[in-house]
Homo-oligomer: A and B are copies of this chain.
Amino acid sequence: MNPNDLPSPWVLARRAARMNPSVIREILKVTERPGIISFAGGLPAPATFPVAEFAAASAQVLQQDGAAALQYAASEGFPALRERVAALLPWPVDPDQVLITTGSQQGLDLVAKVLLDAGSRVLVETPTYLGALQAFTPMEPQVVGVRSDDGGLNLDDLRAKAAGARFLYLLPNFQNPTGRTMGEARRAALAELAAELRLPIVEDNPYGDLWFDQPPPLPLSARLPDGSLYLGSFSKVLAPGLRLGFLVAPPALYPKLLQAKQAADLHSPGFNQRMAARVLEGDFLERHLPRIRALYRSQRDAMLAALSREMHGLDVQWNSPDGGMFLWARLPRGHSALELLPRAVDAGVAFVPGAAFYADAQDDAAAQRTLRLSFVTATAAQIDTGIAALARAIRATGPRP
């Protein structure tokens, strides 16, 4: 929007010109049409939300501790929740390093505020999480994509691009959008390279608990505790509607992140934090996570089977994620996912074109053939129907002339 298009007297900040509507959120509006099977949104399966546990926790919190739960609270977060987070992480973390955030999206906003100046260089995977690009954009950085393959970052390209970067942002586990995971050898080499290059790492791990057969390798933050910021979320293991996430920061960075948090929203809802802390008591996650994993694995398997069956004879490629919520596919040469989308929606199915996730290569022909398919929102039966509809739309579309 041009400031001159505004009625007097407003003048927009320069950064506002770079802030644009989320492509995904615009697509999600289309997919809300009745009857559309959506592989588009990153919406956890509502069947996994512990509604009864929340109802019990809410009643207990309000009855036993209502006044405190509804009052202003410390910006750092509710002590019992910070302690629980620290205890759940697979490396030694002091609860004083844990900052509770309003979803892990807020963690990205705080990181950008504290670490990015206009023009600062930030390295990201290719492709990467769109919400991170949106959180970084208001601080006007130069975002540089590092080449990536099925095993994660290309370390040669990382070395070539690292000079002067404020940090490398990455999702090593069941990445959004690709579903891929960085293996142990690549992590070990990356940790070594980051230490050598003095390259800080911002590690985003919302999906790490959603593994299907075995846990992913140890986080990078466990290997580089002073050189990493770690972001986690309760959105996938409890529920997104509470808006609770967390940040684990080296002691030297924590005070500035805390001040940014105070300025951003004073604190995350104390009521929600107490509910979450109560639900997480005891062995809840040990009982709950296997159910989510089993459900999502069955949905992944349904999608893989449907793809094998329905894409027969089409030169469509896809991967087989070991966890998380997303599968990554590639259309035949000459096809465009963006052009396919309206035809797919007409056929009753939606997805997100992959180009949106490329920080600096959205016009790349290879990027334009990609699509992200979420396998956790639709049921197995809907997945069968939806993938069949997608295959029909691909066949009907054909390559661009």
Distance in Å from the Cβ of A50 to the closest Cβ of chain B?
9
Let me know if A90 is at the binding interface, CB within 8 A.
no
Q: What are 17 A-B residue pairs whose CB atoms fall within 8 Å in the complex?
A: A1-B256, A9-B198, A9-B200, A10-B253, A12-B256, A14-B117, A21-B259, A49-B67, A55-B58, A55-B62, A59-B59, A70-B241, A105-B265, A106-B265, A109-B265, A241-B270, A242-B271
Distance in Å from the Cβ of A259 to the closest Cβ of chain B?
4
A243 touches B266 (CB 8 A): yes
Distance in Å from the Cβ of A4 to the closest Cβ of chain B?
11
Query: Would you list the 9 A-B pairs with minimal beta carbon distance, nearest first?
Result: A46-B67, A9-B198, A70-B239, A70-B241, A51-B66, A134-B263, A241-B270, A243-B269, A102-B265
Residue of B nearest to A120 (CB): B13
Residue of B nearest to A133 (CB): B263
A226 — which chain B residues lie within 8 A by C-beta? 7
B63 touches A102 (CB 8 A): no
Let me know if A87 is at the binding interface, CB within 8 A.
no
A13 touches B117 (CB 8 A): yes
Q: Which of B9, B199, B241 touches A71 (beta carbons < 8 Å)?
A: B241
A12 — which chain B residues lie within 8 A by C-beta? 114-115, 256
Let me know if A138 is at the binding interface, CB within 8 A.
yes
Question: In whole angstroms, what is the CA distance A72 to B256 when docked?
Answer: 29
Question: In whole angstroms, what is the CA distance A265 to B241 when docked?
Answer: 11
Residue of B nearest to A29 (CB): B74
Q: Please provide the chain A residues from 34 to 63 with a CB less than 8 Å away from any CB of chain B in the complex.
A: 41-44, 46, 49, 51, 54-55, 58-59, 62-63
Residue of B nearest to A42 (CB): B72
Residue-wise interface mask of A (240-274) relative to B, using a CB-CB cutoff of 8 A (1 in contact, 0 not)? 11110000001011011011101111111111100
Question: In whole angstroms, what is the CA distance A278 to B239 when docked?
Answer: 21
Question: How many subunits of this chain does the assembly comprise?
Answer: 2
Q: Please provide the chain A residues from 151 to 209 with a CB less than 8 Å away from any CB of chain B in the complex.
A: 166, 197-200
Question: In whole angstroms, what is the CA distance A242 to B263 when docked?
Answer: 17
Q: Which of B21, B240, B256 touches A255 (beta carbons < 8 Å)?
A: B21
Question: In whole angstroms, what is the CA distance A313 to B8 when docked?
Answer: 53
B22 touches A51 (CB 8 A): no
Most chain B CB atoms below 10 A, which of A71, A242, A265: A265
Q: Please provide the chain A residues from 128 to 162 with a CB less than 8 Å away from any CB of chain B in the complex.
A: 131, 134-135, 137-139
Question: In whole angstroms, what is the CA distance A95 to B154 when docked?
Answer: 48
A46 touches B22 (CB 8 A): no
Most chain B CB atoms below 10 A, which of A42, A58, A264: A264
A109 — which chain B residues lie within 8 A by C-beta? 263-265
Most chain B CB atoms below 10 A, which of A134, A198, A226, A263: A263
A241 touches B72 (CB 8 A): yes
Most chain B CB atoms below 10 A, which of A8, A10, A12, A46: A10
